[in-house]
A and B are shown apart, each in its own frame.
Chain A
Amino acid sequence: MLATFLFQRSIPPIYHHSEPLAFLPSGPMVEVTTAPLGPISPEIIWLAAIQYYGEEKISGGKFEFLTQVFDVLTRIDPLFDHAYQFGSIVIADEGRSPEQAIRILKRGLVKNPSSWIPPFYIGFVFYIHLRDFAKAGKYFELATRRSGAPEYVYRLAAFAYKKVRLRKGSILIWSKIYQNTDNQTLKEAALRNIRCLILEEYLEYLNKGLQRFEREKGRKPEHISELIPEYIDSIPTEPFGGAFKYDSSRDSFISTTYLQIEKIIAYLNNKLHVFKQKFGYYPERLDELVAKGVIDFIPPHPLGRIYNYRFGRVIR
């Protein structure tokens, strides 16, 4: 079974007719079936997980097996901290299934009782993705009670309990992840998230200044420069290389990066519609648009993220 699985993995993606990870035995049975591979089994699954993640990311897939592959990996090697960390981040973030990430982490809580990683990342998912501060605080605190927990875990526990602004805590978490990992993919994810959070922070700052201007002057500004230096210090640099613009129709500041995303999404949805008319169905994955010649390439996501494609539509 594993041989088939490995063989399937080695075939270039274009020949995939069915999903290779579907051959991976699921659930607790995998602990038994991989046992004869001895110390090599977790390494094989780890490489398979990374490869799967990479392929899905490039092809704009739906990450349907992401949860399963990390579930299998942490069952085979329940002490593998990095698997919990990387797995829970990508499952919750790009896989968009924070509940699944928590399910895997909770098993790690029991099976890897001396590590602070599983409780910390449960807290992380509750804090960032589910915005349940009470539970996040509880798990951050649990992490502090395990040996090796760094100082910022204590700070986060305090943040969560005090319901300190989400963004500040999130930036702290991501920057710590960025500093403490050698995993390039994880570093990129952290950087991307930090940039998004900073972007939000800047927009909030600009819009607050705008609101104060309107309140005090009783009119809309004609140009951004009117706000400087009384209402805002300066126009910050847009973290993704775009610019901040004042959109008079919406009466708020917007980022050109966001505008561009909206444009691309509209473009993709339009093409999806074309696809449907041509072939009578919506594609399984976005890269079918390219494969069937509807478009030449999928424009890269300006934030480096993956398009959330579900049921024939790309949504934000």
Chain B
Amino acid sequence: MKLVELRNITKTYRIIFGKKVEALRGITLVVGKGEAVALVGPNGAGKTTAIKIILGLLNPDCGKISIFGQDPNSDIRKRIGYLPENPTFYRFLTGRENLLFLTRMVDPDIPIKRIDEMLRLVGLYGAKDRPVRGYSRGMVQRLGIAQAIIHNPDLLILDEPLSGLDPIGRKEIRSILLNMKKEGKTIFFSTHILPDVTPLADRVIVINKGRIVSDLPVAKIGDIEDHLIQILR
């Protein structure tokens, strides 16, 4: 079953004075149920644009998108967990209030216990009552992970999930994601940090200058760095 399907998506940003930047030049990609797919590419390749289009934050110029076989702007978003690149929260609310607010939009009757459980899981329980404006970059990233997985979604879309974390944090978060994968969740994540890819992903899609240049299972790649240098040359 296809959970995410993009067909021939193009997206051009218009900057002032008529200048155009082609972010995506007709990409087609499919993510099946239970897969863990990494979207890899250099900075400015179009990773974030592709993810935003999947989520309906951006409207594509042309092409077709379906998620769970439906339009992204529909109720299926209950089943998606999303972590944006450098997530931001309401600075005047505490970590716990932020998480409660975001979760209630998916599940109005969420028990407080579940919130605290999740804060403990991502290692923020001690800071739960501090306003987010006092959080470090890594703590914000942990809160971002918490809000993406708290409603137990079937599909996780994560934009640079491990950035901003210290080595211990990376390990902790990676193990949380690996657990989710074991539970049969589908994970689609972007990264430009190559060592993050292999432990988590089943399949690697390489994107460059708005085009998909390679789409291979991890098993067939061998050393990912060599692979990337080879195709991007």
Task: Indicate if A touches B (C-beta under 8 A).
Answer: no
